[in-house]
Chain A
Amino acid sequence: MNVPTDYVIGLSAILFVLGVLGVLVRRNAIVIFMSVELMLNAGNLAFIAFARSFEALSGQVFAFFVIAVAAAEVAVGLALIVTIHRARQSIDVDEVRALHG
């Protein structure tokens, strides 16, 4: 595909900012987590775009590792959310902000 690299990086930046907005504005812990995944994907898109632009396959290998680490993080993060819900009956981050209990 013969699209200037700048356009793909611009799309990656927009998606990243949308992820940041999701983390800042929403209070449902699961939607916040999904916005973090959106940010990770935006970073991956930048990696793949530069790998194509510089013809360096290492960018794709790094994107592969980011996907693997994101999978591990989602497993642990969702287990945490389930535990918090079991203890507090709520996953609204405004309500569960105290660390005690």
Chain B
Amino acid sequence: MTLDLLGFIALSIIAIVSAVMMIASRHAVYSALFLVLNFATIAVLYLLLNAPFIALVQITVYAGAIMVLFLFVIMLLGVERVEESPGLPYQGPVAIGLGFALVLLFGFALLPRGEGAMGQIAEGFGSPAAVGRLLFDRYLVPFEITSVLLLVAMVGAIYLAGVPSRKEAE
């Protein structure tokens, strides 16, 4: 039981418990905060997997922008006070059983491949310079398309938010 494995197990427990609490919490703000904890834990896992740039992108974009957006909308709509309608009575246990079956299915599909231990890694793997070189070299077209995608999303969100038309003002 090396220190690496102990650290990984501790992080996995935090990630899984925060995910379960996110799903089970009846209060939407608590769910969002548990999800922030989950994202931060996954970011630490990225750090340990030699991906420092992606770890900080995760914290900046996911925990810092997306979850803030979620909290804005939760508080804007005031839905944290809303009681959820009761679902089908047996839905909980059946869902947990089927979820367990899905995990077993993943296990059967992935484990025989047996990737095994991770080898040594080059210095500077996953550094911003290395990822940036790939982004602007091999993956330049997807990078530019992503920027167009973000523009489209911004236009769509503004339109859906309902810019009042001039006719209504008259």
B-side contacts of A82, CB under 8 Å: 73, 76-77, 160-161
Contact between chains at A57 and B130 (CB < 8 Å): yes
A-side contacts of B142, CB under 8 Å: 65
How many of chain B's residues touch chain A, expressed as a range? 35 or more
Q: How far is B22's CA from A26's CA once the two chains are assembled, in angstroms? A: 11
Contact between chains at A15 and B62 (CB < 8 Å): no
Contact between chains at B66 and A55 (CB < 8 Å): no
Contact between chains at A28 and B79 (CB < 8 Å): yes
User: B35-77 CB contact bits vs A (8 Å, 1 = yes)?
Assistant: 1001100100110111101100110011001100110011011
Contact of A27 among B84, B116, B118, B152 (CB under 8 A): B84
B-side contacts of A83, CB under 8 Å: 160-162
The secondary-structure label for the interface of chain A is: helix
Give B39's nearest chain A residue, CB to CB: A41
A68 CB-CB contact with B under 8 Å: yes
Contact between chains at B115 and A53 (CB < 8 Å): yes
A-side contacts of B103, CB under 8 Å: 13-14, 17
Contact between chains at B150 and A72 (CB < 8 Å): yes
Given contacts A45-B42, A55-B122, A70-B66, contact A38 B28 (CB under 8 A): no
Contact between chains at B95 and A21 (CB < 8 Å): yes
Contact between chains at A76 and B160 (CB < 8 Å): yes
Give B58's nearest chain A residue, CB to CB: A67
Q: How far is B51's CA from A58's CA once the two chains are assembled, in angstroms? A: 12
Chain A: minimal CB distance from B168 (Å) = 15
